[in-house]
Structure 1
Amino acid sequence: MDHIFTISKKPSRTLNPYKQNIFNKLEKSILCAVSSRNVISFSTESNIEECNSLYWSSNVYVADLNNPWQVHKVLGNSSPVTVLQWDFTGDLLLVADESGCVKMYRAKDNILNDWVLISQTLLQGEHILAAAFFHSGKKICLNSDKKDSPSYIDKFQHVKFACSVKQFGGRPANGALLLTTTGMLAAVLLPQATSQSPMIVATESLGPTRIFVKTADICYGKNGHFLIAVSSGDPAMPIQCYKVSVKKEDEKCTIKSQSLLSFFLFGAPKEAMMDQLRKEKNCTVSHIKWIMREDADSLVVTASSQKMSCLQVWELREKAVPVHKSLMGNSETPQFYNTVLWQYQCHFQYNNKVTSLATSKLSLLNNISNGYVVVTFADNSIHCLYRDTLKQIAYTTLSVVPRYLDEPNSKYQKVSTNIASIDMSWLGNVLLCVDSDDSLHLFKLPPQIESSAPLSVPYCTTILEYCLMSGFDWLDFLLVLRPGMLDAICDRLTESFNRQPPSVQQFFYVQYLCIKTSLYRLSFQGLSKANDLTQYLMLHSISTAFKSLLRPSEMNSHEKSPADSLASVIAEGQSDVDKALTLMHLEAKEFTVETTTLQSLQQLIQWVADLALNLLVKFSDSRPAAGKAYELLRDVKALNMLREMLVLIRIWGLLRPACLPVFIKSDTNLDVLALVFKLLSRLVQNVNEPDDALIDECCLLPSQVQIQLLQPSNNRPVLASPHLAQQILPLQLEFNNEPECLASNSDSNAGQTVDSIRHLYLGKTPRVIKQCVRCGSSAGMVQATRTAAIRAWDQRWLRSCQCGGLWRMQVFSA
C-alpha cells in the first residue's frame, strides 16, 4: 500500500476554534467519494481558499484524480454534510446533510469546474444517514469459466440484473433512495431530460414503527429491490435488515419495506473476545457495510470502543434443519426443511477505535466475492483485509508531517490529525483518504483478483479490456502500473483486440485508441507513439465525420455505398489523384455537399492536409538507420485513410474552391494535393523499405511548400505521467498549486493556443477556453459557424476530450 500523495491546504497561523470543539460531534461531516469517471468529491469543515477563516462551514469540493490539486467548490453548506454519493455514470453528485436537505448536482456542459443544482428536496427535521442511486440494470462481469477466451463476447458477460425503478416501456428511472436516522425512507425520482413533469418524492417508514438508526448501508438486489442493514449503535441490540422496493405508477411513487432476518453481534462464537468488548465503556456499533454492492448476502459490522475494536463478517446462508420425530408422522426416514439463517464467518480484532470502513464497489467475477475490506483506526493505521476471511493483505500507517515543522520558531498551533473518511476507486486500485485537517491522501491497493501476486501482464490486459467493455474509467489503474511492463501490456492488448470480430472492433475502436494512448503517455519513450495515436484518432474521427456526409443516389443500383466505393478505388494503388476520380464512375449526387457545410469544415480539411505534409517531411528521419520510429508512418491503414480524405477534398474543391486547404508555395503552379497524394501512394506500397527517390522527394517538400507544424498536447502536470515514477513518494502537494516535480521540461504554452477539436487558432492568451484535465488540450468556448455538420462534430467532443479526460473552464485575466 504505497502512499502516492498528500495534498494539504496552505498552513494557517490561526487555529479554527471549531476544529477542536466540535470535530468529535461532526466527524461524519468529513467525507469523500470517488466516481466511476475517477472524479473525486470530498467535504471539509473549513474553506480551502480562505485558510485563515474563523468561521465553521461544511464545503463540498470536486477534482479529477489525475490532477487532484485543482479543486472546485461545489457548495458551502450551513449544516454538516452527512452523505456524498455518485451515481453509476459519474454524472450526478448527491449531497445530503443533517437538516434533511438533499441536493443533486451535475456538471454544466460537462465542465468540471462549473456545477449546477438540478434538484433539491427538504425532508424537514430529518437527519439523512445513507443514500443510494437507483440501479440502471446494467452489470458486466468477467466470466470465470471463460476468462481465457480470446473473444470479448465470451470473456465478459452481461449479467441479468433488474433496474431499481421502471418507467414506461421498462426503461430505468433516475433517482435515489434515502434513509434518515428516524427510520424514514424517501425516494426521489428525477424527471426525464425531455420531460416537463415535476420531480416525484415519496416517503415511508422503514419498519412498522419508526426506529432510531445510527449507522446503515444500502445495496442492490438482483430483482430490482434494495437491501438495507441498520443498527441503533447499541451492540446488545440486533442488526436489522430490510427489503425495500420502489415502484412508479403513473405520476406517483410507492415504497414497500419488508423486514428480514436479524442477528446479534454477541451471538458470535468468540465469546471471550465479545465479553471483553462488552465490558468496555462506550462500546458501539460504528459501521455497517454490505460485502458486495450488488446482490449481497454478507455484512461486515464493526463494534468498537476507545481501546479496542472488532470487525465481524456475517453471511446469510440456507441451512437444512431436521424435523423432530414427533412431527414426522409414520415416516421413518429423516426429514429436513430448508431455512435461511445469519451465520457468523470470521472476525478481525485491533486495539484501537475504528474511524472509517470501505468495501469494493465492483465484483469483477460474477457471484464471487472478490475484493477487499479496508478499515482505518484512530492511530491512523490502514488495514486491507480479504472480504470473506478478514485476513490481512496489506498494512500501512498514515504519517502526517505538519507543514510548520520546517520553521522551528513558527507560531503555528499543532493539532492532532486523524483519518476521517476513506473510499475506494471503482476498479479498486487506489484508496482515497481525507483527514480531520481537510487534507487528501492516496494509497495504492493490491490487485483485486490476483492479490497474492504482483501485477501481471495478462491480469492488466484483462482489466483494461473490462474497462473497454463496461465503459469505466481506467485512470486509477494507470497509477499502479510499473513502467517496465507498459510495452508488454500494449502489445498484448493490441493482439487481443485484433482477434475480435470486425463489428466489435468498429464499436470499441475509439475507446481502444484512448486506452493505448494513455498507456504510452506513462513513459518517456512512448510519448512520440502517444502523439501519433492522438493524431490517428483525430484522423479517424474526421474520416468518419466526412464519410457520414455522403449520401447514395436514389437511382444508384450499386450495392456499395459511396464510402465503400472510395475505399475500393484507393485500394487499387492509384498514385494520381485525378485519375482516381475518373476511375470511381460515381454519380455527382453521391459526393455533393452543401457549400455552406463544406466551408464550415475548412479547418478540418486544412488539418488533414497539414497532417499529410508533416508525415512526409518526417519520413526522411524515420528510417531504421536513424533510430526513430514514427508509428503513424508505418500504419498502412492510416495512410490509406489519409489518401481517401485527399480524394474527397479534391472532389469537394470542385464544388467549393474556398474550402480547399491553403498552402504557401514557392511555385504558384505547384499542385500540392496531387503531389502529396502521389507521395503517400508510393509510400503505401512499401512502408518498411521505401526507395531513395521517394525519400529525396520528401526532403524537397519544405523548399516547395511551407509546412505548418502540428502542435502537440500541452503535457500539463498530471499524476499519470512518466514523472511520477521518478519521484520519491509520497508527494507533498498543495491545493490549487501545480506541482513543479510533475511539470514537463518543454514549454508547451509558448506561441499560439490551438483549438484541439476545431483546429483553429485561439490567440496567444484567449480569455476563456476549456482545457482537458488530463492531456491539457485546449478548446474554444465560443460557438463557431453552426451548420449541421459542425454541430455534430462539436457534439462528438462535448462530454470529454479525445483522450477521454474531462473539460475544465480556464479564464485568463485581461
Structure 2
Amino acid sequence: MDHIFSITKKPNKTAYRQNIFYKLEKSSLCSISCTNVLAFSTESNIEETNSLFWSSNVYVADLNSPWQVHKILVNSSPVTVLQWDFTGELLLIADESGCVRIYRPKDYILNDWALVLQTTLQGEHILAAAFFHSGKRICLNAEKKDCSSYIEKFQHVKFACSVKQFGGRPASGALLLTTTGMLAAILLPQYASQTPMLVATESLGPTRLLVKTADICYGKNGHFLLAVSNGDPSVPIQCYNVSVKKVEDKCVITSKSLLSFFLDEAPKEAMMDQLTKDKCTVSHIKWIMREDADSLVVTASSSKMSCLQVWELREKALPVHKSLGNSENPQSFNTVLWQYQRHFQYNSQVTSIATSKLSLLNSISSGYIVITFADNTIHCLYRDTLKCICSTTLSVRPRYLGEPNAKYQKVNTKISNIDMSWLGNILLIVDSDDGLHLFKLPPQIESSAPLSVPYCTTILEYCLVSGLDWLDLLLVLRPGMLDALCDRLTESYNRQPASVQQFFYVQYLCIKTSLYRLSFQGQAKANDLTQFLMLHSISTAFKSLLRPSEMNSHEKSPADSLANVIAEGQSDVDKALMHLEAKEFTVETTTLQSLQQLIQWVADLALNLLVKLPDSRPVSGKPYELLRDVKALNMLREMLVLIRIWGLLRPACLPVFTKSDASLDVLALVFRLLSRLVQNVNEPDDALIDECCLLPSQVQIQLLQQINNRTVLASPQLAQQILPLQLEFNNEPECLACSNIESGSGQIVDTIRHLYLGRTPRVVKQCVRCGASAGTVPVTRTAAIRAWDQRWLRSCQCGGLWRMQVYS
C-alpha cells in the first residue's frame, strides 16, 4: 500500500486561534465517483485558514489534479452523507438537520455546480442514502476470462432496476434512512418540464427505532436491503427488505423485516475478553458486496480493542421431528440462516471501513475489505478469509511557517473516513485536519500477486466495455509495463469483430493515448493518436452531412462511393471527382462556411505529416505512427476530395495557404503526395521525399498545437518523484509540471473548433486530463456546428472533464 500523496491546507501563523475547533468531534467524509471525481467534506474553510467560524463544507476535485478543489456547499449543520450515483453526474449531500441536496455539474463543468433539488426531512438526522439502481451490471465471466472476445469475456448479469417508470424505464432517485428509523424515497422528475419531485416517507419497522449505524445494498429483484443497529451489541443486527414503487403520481415504500442475528452468537473464541469488560458498541455495518445481500461485516469496538466479524446467509437443512413427518423417511426443512464465518481482531478502535464498490467477478471471493483504526493504521483484508494482505500507517506531520513548534498546540490528526475507487486500485483518506491522502491498493482479482500486464489489460477492457473511467489504474502502473500493456491491448482489440471494433473505437483510442502519455518516450505517439482521433471525428461529422440523391438508393451511400474511389489509388484529385455523383455531395453553402476552421485543420494536418516524412525514415529514428497508418492517410485523402468538391460550391470555405507561387494548387499537390505515400508507407521512394523537402519553400506550413503545459498526477513526472508527494490545496506542484512547449505563436488554441483564442483569453474551458482548451463564446450556429459542439459538451476528446479557467 504505497502512499501516493498527501494534500493539506496552507500553513497558518495564527493556527493557535483555531485550536477551539480541534476539540470538536470531526465527521469529515469522502467519496469517489465512477468518473474518478473526488467529493469530500471538511469542518473548516480550506481557502481561509484563519477563519474563526465553524462550517461544514463540501468540495469536489478531479483525481488527476486533486489540489484544484471547488467548493459547492457551505452548510451550517455537519454533513453526514456524501453519495454519488452510478453515472457520476449526481452528488447527494445530506446533513444532521434532515436537509437533502442533489447537485449536478452545470453544463458539465467540474467547477460549476447547480442544485437539482432540495428537500428537508424536518427534525431527522440522515444516516445513510443510496441512489436507485439502473439495472445495468457487467461482470467478468470467470469461466471465459482468458477468452479473446469481449462479448464472451464480459457478461451482462441479470439485475432489476430499483424503480420502474412507464415502459419499464429505470427511474432516477434516492432512498434515505434516518436515525429514528424513517425511510424516505425521492423520485427525480424525468424531464425538466415535468412536475416536481416525489417524496414519500415510511417507517423502517412496525414502530420507529433508534439507528446509529446502517448500510444499504441492492437486491437482484430491484429491492433494497438494509442492515441496521442501535449500537448495543446485546441487541440484534436487524435486516430489512425495502421496495420502492411508482404508482401513478405517487411513490410507495414497502418495508419487510428479514432475519436478524446477535453478535454474541459467534463462537466464544471469536469475541475478545476485553470487549466484555469495556464499554463496547457496534460502530460500523457494511455489506461486503453492494449488489448482493449474502454477506455482512460488522465491527464491535471499545476504546482499546476492536473485533470485525463476517456473517453470511447460508441455506441450512433443519431436521423435522418424527411426529410431524414420516418416521421411515426422515425429512428435513430447508431454511436460510445468518451464520458466523470469521473474524479479525486489533488492539485499537475502528474509525472507518470500506469495501469494493464494484465486483468484477460475480462472486463474493473477489475483492477485499479496508479498515482503519484510531492509531492511524490501515489494514487491507481478504474478503473470504479476513487475512491481512498488507497494512501501513498514516503519518501526518503538521507544517508551520518558520515558527518554533513549541508555540503551537500539537494536533493529533486521525483518520476520519475512507473510500475506494470503483476499480479498487486506490484508497482515498480524509483526516480530522481536513487533509486528503491517497494510497495504492493490491489488484482486486489477483490480490496475492503484483500488478501484471494481463490483469491490467483485463481491467482496461472492462473499462472499454462498461464505460468506467480508468484513471485510478494509470496511477498504479509501473513505467516498465506500459509498452507491453499497449501491445497486449492492441492485439486483443484487433481480434474483435469489425462491428465491435467500430463501436468501441473512440474509447479505445482514448485509452491508448492516456497510456502513452505516462512515459516521456510515448509523447510523440500520444500526439499522433490525438490528431488521428480528431481526424476520425471530423471525418464522421463531414460524412454525416452527405445524403443519397435518390431515396430508394440503399445499396451504396455517398460515403461508400467516396471510399471506393479512394481505394482505387487515384492520385489526381480532379480525376477522382469524375467518379462521384455531384448531387450526393451537395451541402448548403452556409453550412460549408461554418466548417471552414475544421477544413483548415485537415489541410494543415496533411501538410504537417508530409513535411515530417523526410525525418521519419528508419535510419533517422523512430517512425511517426500517423505516417505509417494507411487508414489515417486514406481518411485524409477522402477529406481532401470532399474539400475539393465543397470548394466548387463555396470557394470561401477552402483552406487558406500562404504560397510562394500564386498558381500553385496546394490541395492537388498534397493529395498527389499522400496517394504516393499510401502505396508504400514503410519505404517511401526518394523522389517523394525530395518533393516533401520542397514543401516548406512552396507553402507556409502552420504548425499544429502539441500537448499543452499541464500539471497532473498521471504524467511521466510521477514515476520520478519520491513518494508520498507533499501537496497543498489550490497550489500546483512544480515537481509535476510538464516541460512540453506549446506551438510557436504562444497563443491558446481552441482544440475543438480549431480557432485562435489569443494569448490571454478571459475565460476558457480546460480539460483536467490533457490540458486542452476550448472557447466558451458561441460561434456561427448552423446545425452542423451545433452537432459538432454537442459532441464535446460532456468531455474533452481525451475523455477528461472540463473545468472553467478564468485568467486575471
TM-score norm. by structure 1 comes to 0.98
Q: 2:191 aligns with which of 180, 190, 193?
A: 193
Q: How many Å separate the matches in 1 of 2:554 and 2:76?
A: 69
- On the 8 A contact 2:11/2:401 being kept in 1, the answer is no
Which residue of 1 is the match for residue 585 of structure 2? 591
Q: 1:507 aligns with which of 498, 503, 510?
A: 503
Q: 1:765 aligns with which of 760, 766, 770?
A: 760
**2:701 alignment partner AA:** I
- On the 8 A contact 1:13/1:413 being kept in 2, the answer is no
| Deviation at residue 366 of structure 1 after TM alignment | 1.4
| Deviation at residue 20 of structure 1 after TM alignment | 5.5
5+ long unaligned stretches in structure 2: none
- On the 8 A contact 1:18/1:56 being kept in 2, the answer is no
| Equivalent position SS for 1:326 | coil
| Equivalent position SS for 1:690 | coil
Which residue of 1 is the match for residue 558 of structure 2? 562
Q: 2:780 aligns with which of 755, 780, 785?
A: 785
| Equivalent position SS for 1:621 | helix
The 1:146–1:746 alpha-carbon spacing in structure 2 relative to 1, beyond 3 Å, is closer
- On the 8 A contact 2:100/2:118 being kept in 1, the answer is yes
Q: Does 1:65 align with 2:59?
A: no
The 1:96–1:16 alpha-carbon spacing in structure 2 relative to 1, beyond 3 Å, is farther
| Deviation at residue 412 of structure 1 after TM alignment | 3.8
Q: How many Å separate the matches in 1 of 2:367 and 2:703?
A: 48
Q: 1:153 aligns with which of 151, 154, 168?
A: 151
| Deviation at residue 555 of structure 1 after TM alignment | 6.0
Which residue of 2 is the match for residue 108 of structure 1? 106
| Deviation at residue 276 of structure 1 after TM alignment | 3.0
**1:31 alignment partner AA:** L
- On the 8 A contact 2:427/2:441 being kept in 1, the answer is yes
Which residue of 2 is the match for residue 88 of structure 1? 86
**2:683 alignment partner AA:** E
Which residue of 1 is the match for residue 353 of structure 2? 357
- On the 8 A contact 1:14/1:413 being kept in 2, the answer is no
Matches within 5 A, 1:581-660: 581-584=577-580, 586=581, 588-660=582-654
The 1:23–1:370 alpha-carbon spacing in structure 2 relative to 1, beyond 3 Å, is farther
Deviations 1:608-653 (A, max 9, x none): 0000000000111100000122100000000000000000000000
Q: 2:383 aligns with which of 373, 384, 387?
A: 387
Matches within 5 A, 1:695-714: 695-714=689-708
| Equivalent position SS for 1:345 | strand
Which residue of 2 is the match for residue 53 of structure 1? 51
Deviations 1:565-604 (A, max 9, x none): 10010011111000111123x1x22111010000000000
Segment drifting more, 146-155 vs 60-69: 146-155
Q: How many Å separate the matches in 2 of 1:371 and 1:812?
A: 45
Q: Does 1:464 align with 2:460?
A: yes
Segment drifting more, 51-60 vs 748-757: 748-757
| Deviation at residue 338 of structure 1 after TM alignment | 0.3
The 1:231–1:17 alpha-carbon spacing in structure 2 relative to 1, beyond 3 Å, is farther
| Deviation at residue 744 of structure 1 after TM alignment | 1.6
| Equivalent position SS for 2:244 | strand
Matches within 5 A, 1:297-696: 297-329=294-326, 331-404=327-400, 407-408=403-404, 411-554=407-550, 557=553, 559-584=555-580, 586=581, 588-696=582-690
| Equivalent position SS for 2:716 | coil
**2:359 alignment partner AA:** S
| Deviation at residue 119 of structure 1 after TM alignment | 0.2
**1:215 alignment partner AA:** T
Moved over 4 A (4+): 16-24, 555-558
Deviations 1:436-472 (A, max 9, x none): 0000000000000001111111111100000000000
Number of residue pairs aligned between Structure 1 and Structure 2? 807
- On the 8 A contact 1:14/1:412 being kept in 2, the answer is no
Deviations 1:281-340 (A, max 9, x none): 2x11010000000022100000001100000000011101111222224x3122111011
5+ long unaligned stretches in structure 1: none
Q: Does 1:805 align with 2:800?
A: yes
Q: Does 1:176 align with 2:171?
A: no
| Deviation at residue 388 of structure 1 after TM alignment | 1.8
Cα RMSD of the aligned pairs, angstroms, is: 1.4
Deviations 1:371-394 (A, max 9, x none): 111000011000000112111001
Q: How many Å separate the matches in 2 of 1:367 and 1:17?
A: 52
Q: How many Å separate the matches in 1 of 2:22 and 2:221?
A: 43
**1:359 alignment partner AA:** T
The 1:405–1:754 alpha-carbon spacing in structure 2 relative to 1, beyond 3 Å, is closer
| Deviation at residue 280 of structure 1 after TM alignment | 1.0
Q: How many Å separate the matches in 1 of 2:494 and 2:686?
A: 33
| Equivalent position SS for 2:338 | strand
TM-score norm. by structure 2 comes to 0.98
**1:681 alignment partner AA:** S
Q: Does 1:7 align with 2:7?
A: yes
The 1:406–1:526 alpha-carbon spacing in structure 2 relative to 1, beyond 3 Å, is farther
Q: How many Å separate the matches in 1 of 2:67 and 2:21?
A: 28
- On the 8 A contact 1:10/1:735 being kept in 2, the answer is yes
The 1:428–1:406 alpha-carbon spacing in structure 2 relative to 1, beyond 3 Å, is farther
Deviations 1:651-695 (A, max 9, x none): 000000000000000000000000000000000000001100000
Q: How many Å separate the matches in 1 of 2:645 and 2:312?
A: 69
Q: How many Å separate the matches in 2 of 1:430 and 1:700?
A: 52
Which residue of 2 is the match for residue 732 of structure 1? 726
| Deviation at residue 158 of structure 1 after TM alignment | 0.7
The 1:351–1:675 alpha-carbon spacing in structure 2 relative to 1, beyond 3 Å, is same
**2:253 alignment partner AA:** I
Segment drifting more, 497-506 vs 748-757: 748-757
Deviations 1:770-794 (A, max 9, x none): 1001100000001111100000000
**1:729 alignment partner AA:** L
- On the 8 A contact 2:270/2:343 being kept in 1, the answer is no
Deviations 1:18-74 (A, max 9, x none): 76567654x3x3000000000000000000000000111000000000000000000
Q: Does 1:126 align with 2:113?
A: no
| Deviation at residue 556 of structure 1 after TM alignment | 6.5
The 1:24–1:299 alpha-carbon spacing in structure 2 relative to 1, beyond 3 Å, is farther
Q: How many Å separate the matches in 2 of 1:746 and 1:465?
A: 30
Q: How many Å separate the matches in 2 of 1:336 and 1:466?
A: 44
| Equivalent position SS for 2:47 | coil
Q: How many Å separate the matches in 2 of 1:286 and 1:361?
A: 20
- On the 8 A contact 2:519/2:715 being kept in 1, the answer is yes
Q: Does 1:290 align with 2:284?
A: no
- On the 8 A contact 2:274/2:305 being kept in 1, the answer is no
Q: How many Å separate the matches in 2 of 1:195 and 1:173?
A: 16
| Equivalent position SS for 2:289 | coil
| Equivalent position SS for 1:340 | strand
Q: How many Å separate the matches in 1 of 2:15 and 2:209?
A: 39
| Deviation at residue 138 of structure 1 after TM alignment | 0.3
- On the 8 A contact 1:346/1:389 being kept in 2, the answer is yes
Segment drifting more, 536-545 vs 497-506: 497-506
